[in-house]
């Protein structure tokens, strides 16, 4: 801990800012620093978060195999407008809004509590999907379910970033996260088809209740707090309970929650419209992810509606997409090796990989 003088202190939460001790890690090898946790512990938490991401993302598309049954039960027609797209459309819109509002809370409250609470709320919003008595209810609850899934998916990425310090160390877990994120969406119809072939469409949600509920219990046991600033904040709180005037640097420089939320909402749009690289990479990401969700909707309608395939047979088409995503993961490992090997050719900053090498 380091003593800080009054004149160096910004606006702080402390009542007596004289002789404040700044709480930091006890050296680079501090065992409480998530970067220094055993590799086995890091990977156990990572795999748990990835499985949660995969199962949660299935919620977005698993329902597409039952669009005709849902339309028939709720007297919904696609004659003048593709209303059967609404369950997935509302789900994705929920993800957009929730990410902007909920993810900044991880800065103050931590990754674990936000992740577990979102997991629980997601579990709650699966229930009305299973028992919905009208189409409007299904659309509304899927909006909130999609928001929870987006927070879980991005929360998993945050956990990986908190556990693995270097870019090289994060290569494999981040690549696996992308597979889990995209693969869950692609696997939804693949897994949902055989379920729907033998049970009603409501069982697609009943079974998800079982999966998500079981994963919530696993997450409670395995997932620990990984955000360093929150761990240090708890350490500082214990010192204050003992009478010491101790705060973390994050606490001393913390902005009001309202300002954090405003910054979180403004920053993506500012980067989107002022940075060309961000703009075009966002367009490409929107195209690829949009194509994925359009594919999960259209394959079922085309092959079942026009070619009289069974839902299970149409699910095999989705399997091809999932296999392609897994193959892409293997190619990403080759790409990463080429990228890191480029550090040997870097004349400007020796030892640093060349960004263009990824191209």
Range 9-21 average pLDDT: 58
Least confident piece of the model among 124-138, 202-216, 218-232, 241-255 = 241-255
CB 245 within 8 A of CB 21: yes
Nearest to 129 by CA among 147, 144, 120, 141: 141
CA 201 remoteness from chain centre:
26
- Convert 72-84 to b/e letters by CB count within 10 Å (16 or more is b): ebeebeeeeeebb
Least confident piece of the model among 24-28, 198-202, 309-313 = 309-313
The string of pLDDT tens digits covering residues 142-155 is 999 999 999 999 99
Please spell the DSSP secondary structure of 228-240, one letter per residue: HHHHHHHHHHHHH
Residue 233 lies in a domain: no
Least confident piece of the model among 139-153, 189-203, 217-231, 308-322 = 308-322
Cα–Cα distance between 94 and 121 in angstroms, integer? 14
Range 277-285 average pLDDT: 89
Predicted confidence (pLDDT) at residue 19 exceeds the cutoff of 80 = no
The string of pLDDT tens digits covering residues 247-259 is 888 778 777 777 8
Domain that holds residue 289: 42-224+275-358
State the pLDDT at residue 10.
Answer: 43
> What is the chain's length?
359
Residue 341 lies in a domain: yes
R_g of the chain, CA atoms, integer Å: 23
The string of pLDDT tens digits covering residues 94-119 is 988 888 778 777 777 889 999 999 99
Domain count, the chain: 1
Residue 256 lies in a domain: no
The string of pLDDT tens digits covering residues 152-175 is 999 999 999 999 988 889 999 999
Predicted confidence (pLDDT) at residue 3 exceeds the cutoff of 80 = no
Which CATH number do you get for residue 325? Answer: 1.20.1250.20
Predicted confidence (pLDDT) at residue 67 exceeds the cutoff of 90 = no
State the pLDDT at residue 122.
Answer: 96
CB 252 within 8 A of CB 9: yes
Residue 169 lies in a domain: yes
Predicted confidence (pLDDT) at residue 242 exceeds the cutoff of 60 = yes
What does the mean pLDDT of the chain come to?
86
Nearest to 201 by CA among 152, 147, 135: 135
Residue 62 lies in a domain: yes
Residue 196: both structure tokens together: 């729907």
| Confidence category of residue 18, pLDDT binned at 50, 70, 90 | low
Residue 316 lies in a domain: yes
């Amino acid at each position: 801990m380091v003593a800080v003088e009054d004149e160096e202190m910004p606006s702080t939460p402390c009542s007596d800012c004289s002789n404040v001790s700044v709480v930091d890690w006890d050296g680079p090898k501090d065992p409480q620093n998530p970067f220094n946790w055993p590799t086995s512990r890091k990977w156990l938490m990572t795999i748990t978060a990835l499985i949660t991401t995969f199962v949660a993302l299935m919620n977005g598309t698993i329902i597409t195999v039952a669009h005709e049954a849902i339309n028939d039960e709720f007297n919904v027609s696609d004659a003048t407008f593709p209303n059967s797209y609404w369950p997935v459309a509302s789900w994705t819109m929920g993800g957009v809004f929730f990410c902007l509002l909920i993810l900044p809370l991880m800065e103050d409250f931590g990754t674990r509590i936000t992740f577990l609470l979102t997991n629980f709320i997601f579990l709650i919003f699966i229930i009305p999907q299973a028992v919905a008595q009208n189409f409007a209810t299904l659309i509304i609850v899927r909006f909130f379910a999609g928001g929870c899934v987006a927070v879980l998916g991005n929360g998993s990425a945050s956990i990986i970033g908190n556990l693995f310090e270097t870019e090289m160390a994060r290569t494999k877990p981040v690549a696996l996260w992308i597979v889990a994120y995209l693969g869950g969406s692609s696997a939804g119809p693949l897994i949902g088809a055989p379920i729907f072939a033998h049970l009603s469409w409501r069982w697609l949600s009943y079974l998800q209740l079982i999966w998500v509920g079981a994963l919530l219990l696993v997450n409670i046991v395995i997932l620990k707090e990984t955000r360093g600033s929150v761990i240090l904040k708890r350490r500082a709180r214990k010192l204050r309970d003992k009478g010491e005037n101790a705060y973390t640097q994050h606490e001393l420089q913390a902005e009001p929650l309202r300002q954090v939320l405003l910054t979180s909402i403004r920053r993506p749009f500012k980067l989107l419209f002022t940075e060309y690289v961000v703009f075009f990479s966002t367009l490409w990401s929107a195209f690829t992810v949009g194509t994925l969700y359009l594919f999960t909707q259209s394959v079922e309608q085309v092959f079942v509606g026009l070619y009289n395939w069974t839902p299970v047979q149409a699910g095999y088409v989705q399997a091809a997409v999932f296999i392609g995503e897994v193959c892409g993961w293997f190619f990403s490992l080759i790409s990463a090796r080429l990228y890191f090997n480029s550090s040997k050719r870097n004349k400007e900053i020796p030892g640093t990989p060349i960004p263009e090498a990824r191209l």
